[in-house]
Amino acid sequence: SPAGKALEALLERYRVGSLLGRGGFGSVFAATRLSDGAPVAIKKVPRNRVRHWGELPDGTSAPLEVVLLAKVSTGFPGVVQLLEWLELPNYIMLVLERP
Q: What is the pLDDT of residues 60-89, one digit of tens each?
A: 999 999 999 988 877 777 888 999 999 999
Mean pLDDT of the chain: 92
Whether residue 17 lies inside any domain: the answer is yes
Count: domains in the chain: 1
> What pLDDT score was predicted for residue 73?
72
Q: pTM value?
A: 0.88
Domain that holds residue 20: 2-50+80-97
Whether residue 65 lies inside any domain: the answer is no
Residues of the binding site for ATP = 44
- Model confidence pLDDT, tens digit, residues 18-45: 999 998 889 999 999 999 999 999 999 9
Residues of the binding site = 44
Residue 53 CB: number of other CB atoms within 10 A?
12
The CA distances from residue 59 to 54, 55, 73, 88, in Å, are 9, 6, 18, 18
Whether residue 34 lies inside any domain: the answer is yes
